[in-house]
Structure 1
Amino acid sequence: MPGVRATIQPDWLSRDVVDLEALTRWGNRQGLPGTVSEVTRIGGGTQNVVLRLRWDDRDLVLRRPPEHPRPGSDRTLLREIRVLSALAGTDVPHPAFVAGCTDTDVLGVVFYLMEAVDGDNPGEGLGELYQRDAGARHRAALDTATAIARLAAVDHTAIGLEDLGRPEGFLERQVPRWLDHLASYDAVPEYRGTRLPHVDELADWLRAHLPEQSRPGLVHGDYHLNNVLLDPATPRVAAVVDWEMCTVGDPLLDLGWLLVTWPDGHGEETMTGGPFAELGGLPERDELVEAYARGSDRDLSAVEWYTVLAGFKLAIVIEGTYARSLAGQAPPEVGLRLHRSAVARLEYAATLAR
C-alpha cells in the first residue's frame, strides 16, 4: 500500500472529524490509489461536514455527518448515497458518486466520496462570467428551473428508487405534519407559544385549495439557489447538491420551494443567492415557471398553491433554529436571522393566498 506521508492532517482538521490515515486505507481497498495531499473544508460545517480532497490526481469531495452527529445522521447519508448512485446516467446535473462507506468502524460515521464539481455557488460568490455578464446570470438562473424539471421527469422506479418515499397522500400529509412540528417547539420553555404570523390562516387556505396531486416523482426537498453550482464557463447549472431530503412525492413542491426562496429585490429578507441577487439581472418568478414548463408536461395551474405550501413548510423548519437559539443551543444572531426569514416567507405566502 502507498505510504501515508501526505495525509498529515491540517491543524484545523480534528482526527474525530476525519482520520485521513484510516480514510486512505479504506480508499485504497476501494480501488482509489495513492493518498490525500490537500484538504479544504467547504462551508461552515454547521450541518454536514464537507471536505474537498486532492486524492492522488483526482479532486474529490467527502461528505459526512456533523462533528456531533444527530440520531438520524447516518440514515441521512445512506439516503444521499443511494440517490446519487441512482442518478448516474440521468440528465439531472449532479456530482458523480465515487464510493460510499457504511462501515462506521472506519470513521465512526457513514460517509461518501463524490467527484468535485467546478462551479460557482450563487450564495457564496461568483466567477468572472457571472460578474460581468447580466445575460449569463439570467440564463443560468433560468436553468435552475429547467434542472429541477429534469429531476421531476426521471422515472424513479426505473432507477431503483420506488421505495424512497410514500407518494400516496403526500400533499394531504403536509399541513398536519408541519403544524405538529411547529407545536413541538413548545417543548422549549423560552419559545413556548407560536411566534409566526399567518400560520392558521395559511393552514386553512392550503386545506381548502388542495389540488389534485401531480404524478409521483423525485423531490429534492431543499431546492434553492444555495444548493446549486453554476458552470463557470457556460451559463447553466453544473450540479445540484445536498440531496439529504430527497424523497418520492409531488415534484412540484420543488418548484414552489425555488419560487418562495427566490431573491427578487423587492425588500424581502434575502435568504438564498445573496451575491447573485446583488449583481442584478435575475429573472422574475413567472419566467422561472415558464422555463420549468418548457421542460415539463406537468400541469402548473396550481403553482401558487405549491409556493404557499413551500413557504409554510420552510418557515416552520427554519423557525426551529430560532427556538433553539432562545434556549442557548444555537447562535442568537443565526436564530434571529432565520426567524426574520421565516416571517418573510409567511408574509409572501399570505399575499399569494389572498
Structure 2
Amino acid sequence: MTDLEGLDLIALDRHLREAGIPRTGELRAELISGGRSNLTFAVSDDASRWVLRRPPLHGLTPSAHDMAREYRVVAALAGTSVPVAPAVTMSNDDSVLGAPFQMVEYVPGRVIRTSRELAALGDRATIEACVDELIKVLAELHSVHPDSVGLGDFGKPNGYLERQVRRWGSQWDLVKRADDACDADVARLHAKLAEAVPPQSRTAIVHGDYRIDNTILHEEDPAKVVAVLDWELSTLGDPLSDAALMCVYRHPTFRLVNSDAAWACELIPAADELAHKYSLAAGQSLDHWDFYMALAYFKLAIIGAGIAYRAREGGGAEAADRLADALAPLIAAGLAELS
C-alpha cells in the first residue's frame, strides 16, 4: 500500500474490515483529477473499486465540506429516479483519515469536464439530448418528496433564500483578502439580495452545484445520466436556486474561471434556453427569476473566492489570481440582474 497525501490506506483498510465490507487483496489508490474543493480518490482492491471523498488539506471554511450530509443524501436517494452511486461507508470524525470522509461504489462512465470532451460526445442533436437528460434529472430530483426518502429533516423547509443570502455573505467575510477591491460591490449586492428576497417557490431537495461535470454519463449513451456527483452543498431548499446556478455556469462570465469548461461551451444552450427547458421539465414557472440569477452569481463568486483562498493557503498563487480576476465580473452580473 502506498499512501497519498490525505489518504492513509492502512487506516482505511482497517476501517473497511471493521465495517464488514468485503476485501480482496491490497488496497490501491489514485487521486482523481478535477474538483478543487473536496479531495476525491479512486480506491480499489483485487475485486472492487470505490470512490472516496474527504475535505481539502488547506484553507477549510466552516460547513463547506460536510461529509455526513453528502453521504446521507446519496444513501437516501438510492432506489429513486435520481441516479446516484451506491453508498458504502463514511466516518464523520478524524479517527480514520485525520478528517471526515465518505465512500461510494465506483460507477463507470464518462465525466465531461472540457469543451473538447463535450464535442466528442457527438453531433448537436446528441449534445442536445444530453442536455435535456441533465435537466430532466434535476427536475426529477426536485420532484422527490423529502419525507418519502427520510430527508424531511435534511434542512429547514422555510427561509432557505434568506439563509443563502446570509450564508454566502458570511463566507465572503471568511475568504476575502484584506485589500480586496471588490469588497464594496460584494457588500452592495449582498444588501440588494437581502432586500429583494421573494417568497420561496416551494421546498425540495436541492443539489447546490448542478452542472454536467458533476454527473457521470453512460459510456455509450451520453443521453443517459448514470450518477449525480458532489452533493456537499445539498439540503432542503428552493429548487429555482438550483436551476439558476446551472444557468449561471453557462454564462460567458464563467469562462474567466475556467475557459475550457464544458458547461460554458457554446455547444450548450444559452442560459435563457436552459431556464426555459427546466421550467418545462419541472412544470414550474420562473417567478422572480432576476433574484434567483443574482443570488446564483453571488454564490458562484463567493465559491470562487473560497477556492482562491484555499489556493493561497496551499501556495497556488496562479489559480488564486485567475479566480480573483473573475470575482468582479460575477458580482457585476449579479448587480445587473437587480438593477
TM over 0.5, shorter chain: yes
Contact 1:123 1:225 in 2 (8 A): yes
Q: What secondary structure is seen at the aligned counterpart in 1 of 2:245?
A: helix
Q: Which is higher, the Rg of structure 1 or of structure 2?
A: 1
Identity of aligned residues (%): 30
1:252 aligns to 2:240 (yes or no): yes
Q: TM-score, normalised by structure 1?
A: 0.81
Q: Which of 300, 314, 319 pairs up with 1:334?
A: 319
Moved more, 215-224 or 73-82: 73-82
Structure 1 residues 352, 232: CA separation in 2 closer, same or farther (over 3 Å shift)? farther
Compute the displacement of 1:117 (Å): 2.1
Q: How does 1:1-354 map to 2 (within 5 A)?
A: 8-9=1-2, 13-14=3-4, 17-29=6-18, 30-36=20-26, 38-43=28-33, 47-67=37-57, 70=60, 76-102=66-92, 104-124=94-114, 130-185=120-175, 188=177, 191-192=178-179, 194-195=181-182, 198-234=185-221, 235-263=223-251, 269-271=255-257, 274=260, 276=262, 280-322=266-308, 330-354=315-339
Count of aligned pairs between the two proteins: 337
Q: TM-score, normalised by structure 2?
A: 0.84
Q: Unmatched 5+ residue regions in structure 2? A: none
**Over residues 61-82 of structure 1, what are the superposed CA-to-partner deviations in whole Å (9 max), with x where a residue is unaligned?**
1222334584757971111121
**Over residues 286-343 of structure 1, what are the superposed CA-to-partner deviations in whole Å (9 max), with x where a residue is unaligned?**
3222322233133322233211111012213322444676x76542221221122222
Moved more, 54-63 or 268-277: 268-277
Compute the displacement of 1:143 (Å): 2.5
**Over residues 104-150 of structure 1, what are the superposed CA-to-partner deviations in whole Å (9 max), with x where a residue is unaligned?**
43333332321212233332476598344232222212332222211
- Name the CA distance, whole Å, in 2 between partners of 1:103 and 1:175: 29
Contact 1:129 1:136 in 2 (8 A): no
Compute the displacement of 1:27 (Å): 2.2
Q: What secondary structure is seen at the aligned counterpart in 2 of 1:105?
A: coil
Moved more, 151-160 or 59-68: 59-68
Give 4+ residue runs of structure 1 displaced > 6 Å after superposition: none
Contact 1:129 1:233 in 2 (8 A): no
Structure 1 residues 142, 252: CA separation in 2 closer, same or farther (over 3 Å shift)? same
Instruction: Look up the equivalent residue of 1:255 and give its one-letter code.
Output: A
Instruction: Look up the equivalent residue of 1:21 and give its one-letter code.
Output: I
Q: CA RMSD in A?
A: 3.2
- Name the CA distance, whole Å, in 2 between partners of 1:279 and 1:324: 26
Contact 1:197 1:346 in 2 (8 A): no
- Name the CA distance, whole Å, in 1 between partners of 2:35 and 2:210: 19
Compute the displacement of 1:102 (Å): 4.3
Contact 1:218 1:249 in 2 (8 A): yes
Structure 1 residues 70, 34: CA separation in 2 closer, same or farther (over 3 Å shift)? same
